[in-house]
A = this chain, B = another copy of it.
């Protein structure tokens, strides 16, 4: 398979934004194109989870490409719930790898903060198995269930509260992050209950924003070394395990197989911490720490910026924010910036980065490995 490289990356400030989603996506796209020194792409992959209900607009690939001045560039939209950005990145990768297009723009975004929180929760909840939904399951409720199950595996509130403290600390150095303030362990553990045992500061915020990358068939400093997808049953009750996600394990396995190396080569990672216990699950499912060791590694500071394996230098979904279909691409943007010395104030020293995105309640997950070229 021909190689695929990242030629440019860009994103908007994440947060409560007044601009329209097409405006946000255009801002991110033009930033990525400028970074790639490219005037126009050959193909555009658009990711957005549910513009019909968030915004009342459909046909969104045409909507946004027309808005950003590329009405005549072929485009399509990809959706896999909350991992739609990662799915779009994969779809763009396939376009270049197949030789169908040489310069592909991948852009994802979401606009949600104009809606009331219960409505956002209802719309995101459409990702859940209808039968479980009929009993009142929401994303936080299912995440709470999983957090409870983790208790039997030696991971408690202390461990996943520390994830929140760490990721908020990281975000203080990220001007693109939604929440750029630090939080203390006490603040996290005393914040209000959302879905017992999960508290407010264990949950990502509702955010607006967009992110974009340009993929090319011509070598650049950052190569996509591996990319993989894993899936699992829509219904959480049909899973083999509540404390690990098959979808992440399979995605990681596929990505490592394509890359020809394993987790030992990964220097830092962006992991999907929509709920902070999920960062601990992902650490183990991706093989970055051995089974049962994610809590200890976090408490020991291994995953802090000055640890042996920094996790979520951007602040993660928890503090950078989680504008749904932007997130999978924003993770790639952070990895590219870190690998190319563009992460001023939070710069890491590393050659291999891993990005991990979760769709729905871990029904449709993705892992990508980016490698800095010598």
**Chain A positions near chain B (C-beta within 8 angstroms):** 1, 49-50, 52-53, 56-63, 65-67, 71-81, 87, 90-91, 93-95, 97-100, 123, 126-130, 229-235, 238, 246, 250, 359-360, 363-364
Cα of A74 to Cα of B359 in the assembled complex, Å? 12
Is there contact, CB below 8 Å, between B71 and A76?
no
Is there contact, CB below 8 Å, between B97 and A99?
yes
Give the chain B neighbours of A80 by CB distance below 8 A: 59, 61-62, 75-77
Cα of A90 to Cα of B128 in the assembled complex, Å? 28
Cα of A21 to Cα of B250 in the assembled complex, Å? 28
Give the chain B neighbours of A129 by CB distance below 8 A: 66
Contact A130-B79, Cβ < 8 Å, known A62-B364, A97-B100: no
CB-contact partner of A126 in B56, B76, B230, B238, under 8 A: B56
Q: Determine how many copies of this chain the complex contains.
A: 2
Is there contact, CB below 8 Å, between B58 and A49?
yes
Is there contact, CB below 8 Å, between A57 and B130?
yes
CB-contact partner of A74 in B99, B123, B127, B231, under 8 A: B231
Contact A232-B126, Cβ < 8 Å, known A77-B80, A94-B95: no
Give the chain B neighbours of A128 by CB distance below 8 A: 59
Is there contact, CB below 8 Å, between B360 and A66?
no
Give the chain B neighbours of A53 by CB distance below 8 A: 52-53
Cα of A76 to Cα of B89 in the assembled complex, Å? 12
Is there contact, CB below 8 Å, between A66 and B230?
no
Give the chain B neighbours of A364 by CB distance below 8 A: 59, 61-62, 75-76
Q: Which 10 A-B pairs have the closest CB atoms?
A: A58-B126, A59-B127, A98-B98, A62-B363, A97-B98, A59-B81, A74-B229, A66-B234, A71-B233, A59-B360
CB-contact partner of A65 in B49, B231, B359, under 8 A: B231
CB-contact partner of A58 in B77, B81, B235, under 8 A: B81
5 contacts between A and B (CB under 8 A): A58-B127, A72-B250, A75-B364, A76-B80, A76-B90
CB-contact partner of A78 in B60, B78, B238, under 8 A: B78
Contact A77-B75, Cβ < 8 Å, known A94-B95, A98-B1: no
Give the chain B neighbours of A98 by CB distance below 8 A: 1, 93-95, 97-99
Sample of 17 further A-B pairs with CB below 8 A, known A57-B130, A62-B364: A56-B126, A57-B126, A58-B81, A59-B126, A59-B360, A60-B79, A62-B231, A66-B233, A67-B234, A74-B229, A75-B80, A76-B79, A76-B229, A76-B364, A91-B94, A94-B95, A97-B100
Tell me which of A74, A75, A130, A234 has the highest count of chain B C-beta atoms within 10 A of its own C-beta.
Answer: A74
By beta carbon, the residue of chain B nearest A87 is: B76
Cα of A81 to Cα of B79 in the assembled complex, Å? 13
Cα of A229 to Cα of B72 in the assembled complex, Å? 10
By beta carbon, the residue of chain B nearest A101 is: B94
Cα of A239 to Cα of B363 in the assembled complex, Å? 41
Give the chain B neighbours of A49 by CB distance below 8 A: 58
By beta carbon, the residue of chain B nearest A73 is: B231
Tell me which of A59, A66, A100 has the highest count of chain B C-beta atoms within 10 A of its own C-beta.
Answer: A59
By beta carbon, the residue of chain B nearest A229 is: B74
Is there contact, CB below 8 Å, between A1 and B126?
no
Cα of A287 to Cα of B254 in the assembled complex, Å? 43
Cα of A63 to Cα of B217 in the assembled complex, Å? 34
